[in-house]
C-alpha cells in the first residue's frame, strides 16, 4: 500500500498504451510496461529514444497524449507531480551550496513539517555511507559523494518509486562502476522500486533485474540481462547490448530440433528453440566471445558451425582479452573475442584463420531481414561498432 508520498515498500508501476507527441514529433509511439514492486528496472537505449520523456511522464512533469499511468494500482495520470509517490535523481545533483549535507537531505522533510527530519536525514546518510560528512557543504565533497547526497535526499522521502535519469553520467569510470554496485545494494536494502534510465549497457546489466531495450520510442525487448544477451530478438538489441556477428540467408533444411541456414554457401545450424523464425530468410547470429579461431581448416562435426577461411584484419589487445576483426569473403567482417589465457594475441594481422562455434550458442532473430537490411548493413555496422567500442575503451582507460 502506498500512503501519500511515503511508502514502506516499493510500488508497481504500470504504463498502459502510453503515447507522447510533441508538436511535429512523436517521442513515444506506444508503451506498455509493468514494473513489479521492489524491482530494479533499467530502461536502456540510445540518446533520443525517449527515456527521459518516459521518466517525465511518470513523474508528472509531462502529460501523455494517450494512455494511463498507474502506481501501486492507483491511476495517477491526472495527478500533479507533487501528489505522486515518486522522486527523481538526475545527472546534475542540484544540491544547495550554502546548506550542509544534512540540511540538504532534510530540506524536503522540513518543508513538509516532518518532525524527526534530522534523524531521518542521518539515517538516509548512513545508508549512503556519508553520515560522517553531514556537517560539510556540497563544495567540500567529491562528485561521487555529491551524487550520494542527491540519492540520500531522494530516498529520505521514501518514494514508492525512485526514478534515476542517467544519475552516474557525470562520474569518471572507476567511480561510476563503484556507484553502480552501491546503488544496487541500496536498492536491495530499502526495497523500493527503482526505474533507472541509461544509455550505458554495461551499467544496465550490472544493476538491473530487468532491462527494457528502447529504440525510437518503442520497447524492442524486455527481460533479465542474461536472457537479453543470450537470445536477442532483434538486430538492434543484438548490437546495442554487447556485440553480435549477424548473417542472413534462406533456411535450407530442418530437423525436429534445428534449422540449417545457407550463409554464402555454408550451412549454418541453429537450434529451433533458439531461433524466432524457422522458414524463409532469417538472420542468425553469434556473440564474439563464443567464436574460436583456428589456423587450419577444422574437421567438421555436427555440434559445431565452421566459417572461413578468412583473414585477420585487425588485432586489438585489451588486457583481459584480444579482439580480432576477421574478414571472410562473401560474408563480411566478424568480431572475435579471445581471452588472453596465456600471453598476448595468438594471431597476427594478415593470418589466415577459420572460425568455429558450438551450434548451441547461435541464435535466430525475429526481425524480418528485408526490414532491417535497410537500417543496418551487417559487416560495416559490426565493424564500425567494434571501432567505436575500441575508441570508447581507450578513452575510458585514459580517464581512469
Ligand atoms: N519538449 C519537447 N518538444 C519536442 N521534442 C522533444 C521534447 N522533449 C523531447 N523531445 C524529443 O523527443 C525525443 C526523445 O527525447 P528524450 O526522451 O529526451 O530522449 P533520451 O532521454 O532517450 O535521450 C528526442 O528526439 C527529443 O528531441
Ligand atoms: Mg535523456
Same structural domain, 374 and 290: yes
What percent of the chain stands above pLDDT 90?
Answer: 67
Ligand 1 pocket, residue 47 CB under 6 Å? yes
pLDDT(123) > 70: yes
Same structural domain, 205 and 307: no
Torsion of CA 167, 169, 170, 174, to 10 degrees: 110
The ligand placed nearest to the CA atom of residue 48 is: 1
> pTM here?
0.84
Collapse the DSSP code of 164 into the 3-class scheme (helix H, G, I; strand E, B; otherwise coil) and give the result: strand
Ligand 1 pocket, residue 55 CB under 6 Å? no
- Which tens digits make up the pLDDT trace of 242-285? 999 999 999 999 999 999 999 999 999 999 999 999 999 999 99
Q: What is the pLDDT of residue 283?
A: 96
pLDDT(3) > 50: no
Q: Whose CA is nearest to atom 7 of ligand 1?
A: 22
* Most informative mutation of 27, 29, 61, 198 for ligand 1 (most atoms within 8 A of CB): 27
Same structural domain, 49 and 152: yes
Q: Whose CA is nearest to atom 16 of ligand 1?
A: 50
Range(s) of the domain holding residue 344: 238-399
Collapse the DSSP code of 43 into the 3-class scheme (helix H, G, I; strand E, B; otherwise coil) and give the result: strand
Q: What is the pLDDT of residue 389?
A: 55
Q: Which atom of ligand 1 is nearest to the CA of 55?
A: 17
Q: How confident is the model at residue 397 (pLDDT cuts 50, 70, 90)?
A: low
Q: What is the pLDDT of residue 398?
A: 61
Q: How confident is the model at residue 4 (pLDDT cuts 50, 70, 90)?
A: very low
Same structural domain, 201 and 303: no
CATH of the domain at 205: 3.40.50.300
Same structural domain, 213 and 300: no
pLDDT(376) > 90: no
**CA–CA gap between residue 14 and residue 350 (Å, rounded):** 54
Q: How confident is the model at residue 107 (pLDDT cuts 50, 70, 90)?
A: very high
- Tracing cell 574478414 back to the chain, one arrives at 327
Q: What is the pLDDT of residue 375?
A: 41
Q: What is the mean pLDDT of residues 82-102?
A: 89
Same structural domain, 271 and 177: no
Domain end position, chosen among 226, 246, 281: 226
Same structural domain, 36 and 152: yes
- Which tens digits make up the pLDDT trace of 322-337? 999 999 999 999 999 9
pLDDT(5) > 50: no
pLDDT(202) > 60: yes
The ligand placed nearest to the CA atom of residue 54 is: 1
CATH of the domain at 244: 2.40.50.140
Q: Flag the least confident range among 6-10, 37-41, 74-78, 342-346.
A: 6-10
For residue 147, is it within any domain? yes
For residue 231, is it within any domain? no
Q: How confident is the model at residue 65 (pLDDT cuts 50, 70, 90)?
A: very high
Same structural domain, 188 and 283: no
Ligand 1 pocket, residue 293 CB under 6 Å? no
Ligand 1 pocket, residue 24 CB under 6 Å? no
For residue 352, is it within any domain? yes
For residues 54 and 217, the answer to whether their CB atoms sit within 8 Å is: no
Ligand 1 pocket, residue 46 CB under 6 Å? no
Cα of 47 vs centre of ligand 1, distance in Å, is: 9
Domain end position, chosen among 196, 226, 256: 226
Domain end position, chosen among 174, 198, 226: 226
Ligand 1 pocket, residue 243 CB under 6 Å? no
For residue 368, is it within any domain? yes
Q: How many domains does the chain have?
A: 2
For residue 232, is it within any domain? no
For residue 233, is it within any domain? no
pLDDT(340) > 90: no
Dump the DSSP string for 271-316. EGGGBS--SSEEEEEE-GGG-EEESS-PPP-TTEEEEEEEEEEEEE
* Most informative mutation of 53, 65, 88 for ligand 1 (most atoms within 8 A of CB): 53
Same structural domain, 258 and 124: no
Q: What is the pLDDT of residue 143?
A: 85
Mean pLDDT of the chain: 88
For residue 330, is it within any domain? yes
Same structural domain, 311 and 339: yes
- Which tens digits make up the pLDDT trace of 138-190? 999 988 889 889 989 988 888 889 999 998 887 788 878 888 888 888 888 88
Same structural domain, 93 and 150: yes
Contacts of 11 (CB under 8 A, 6+ apart): 2, 37, 71, 72, 73, 85, 160, 161, 193
**CA–CA gap between residue 129 and residue 90 (Å, rounded):** 20
Ligand 1 pocket, residue 27 CB under 6 Å? yes
Cα of 51 vs centre of ligand 2, distance in Å, is: 5
Q: Which atom of ligand 1 is nearest to the CA of 217?
A: 14
For residue 218, is it within any domain? yes
Same structural domain, 197 and 255: no
Amino acid at each position: 500500500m502506498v500512503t501519500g508520498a511515503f511508502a514502506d515498500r516499493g510500488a508497481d508501476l504500470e504504463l498502459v498504451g502510453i503515447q507522447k507527441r510533441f508538436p511535429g514529433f512523436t517521442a513515444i509511439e506506444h508503451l506498455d510496461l509493468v514494473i513489479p514492486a521492489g524491482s530494479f528496472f533499467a530502461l536502456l537505449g540510445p540518446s533520443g529514444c525517449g527515456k527521459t520523456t518516459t521518466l517525465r511522464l511518470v513523474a508528472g512533469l509531462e502529460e501523455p497524449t494517450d494512455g494511463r499511468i498507474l502506481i501501486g494500482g492507483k491511476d495517477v495520470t491526472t495527478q500533479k507531480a507533487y501528489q505522486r509517490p515518486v522522486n527523481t535523481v538526475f545527472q546534475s545533483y542540484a544540491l544547495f551550496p550554502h546548506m550542509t549535507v544534512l540540511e540538504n537531505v532534510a530540506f524536503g522533510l522540513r518543508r513538509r513539517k516532518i518532525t524527526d527530519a534530522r534523524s531521518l536525514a542521518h539515517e538516509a546518510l548512513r545508508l549512503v555511507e556519508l553520515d560522517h560528512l553531514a556537517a560539510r557543504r556540497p563544495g567540500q565533497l567529491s562528485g561521487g559523494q555529491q551524487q550520494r547526497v542527491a540519492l540520500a535526499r531522494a530516498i529520505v522521502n521514501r518514494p514508492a518509486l525512485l526514478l534515476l535519469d542517467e544519475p552516474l553520467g557525470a562520474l569518471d569510470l572507476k567511480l561510476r562502476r563503484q556507484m553502480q554496485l552501491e546503488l544496487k545494494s541500496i536498492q536491495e536494502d530499502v526495497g523500493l522500486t527503482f526505474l533507472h534510465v541509461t544509455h550505458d549497457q554495461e551499467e544496465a546489466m550490472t544493476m538491473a533485474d530487468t532491462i527494457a531495450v528502447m529504440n525510437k520510442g518503442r520497447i524492442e525487448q524486455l527481460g533479465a540481462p542474461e536472457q537479453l544477451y543470450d537470445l536477442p530478438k532483434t538486430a538492434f538489441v543484438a548490437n546495442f547490448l554487447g556485440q553480435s556477428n549477424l548473417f542472413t540467408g534462406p533456411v535450407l533444411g530442418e530437423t525436429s530440433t534445428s534449422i540449417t541456414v545457407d550463409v554464402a554457401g555454408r550451412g549454418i545450424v541453429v537450434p529451433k528453440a533458439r531461433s524466432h523464425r524457422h522458414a524463409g530468410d532469417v538472420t542468425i547470429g553469434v556473440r564474439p566471445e563464443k567464436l574460436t579461431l583456428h589456423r587450419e581448416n577444422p574437421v567438421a562435426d555436427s555440434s559445431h558451425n565452421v566459417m572461413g577461411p578468412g583473414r585477420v584484419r585487425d588485432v586489438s589487445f585489451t588486457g583481459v582479452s584480444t579482439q580480432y576483426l576477421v574478414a571472410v569473403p562473401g560474408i563480411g567482417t566478424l568480431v572475435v573475442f579471445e581471452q588472453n589465457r596465456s600471453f598476448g594475441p595468438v594471431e597476427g594481422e594478415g593470418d589466415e584463420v577459420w572460425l568455429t562455434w558450438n551450434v548451441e550458442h547461435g541464435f535466430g532473430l525475429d526481425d524480418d531481414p528485408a526490414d532491417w537490411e535497410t537500417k543496418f548493413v551487417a559487416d560495416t555496422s559490426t565493424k564500425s561498432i567494434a571501432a567505436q567500442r575500441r575508441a570508447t575503451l581507450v578513452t575510458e582507460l585514459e580517464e581512469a
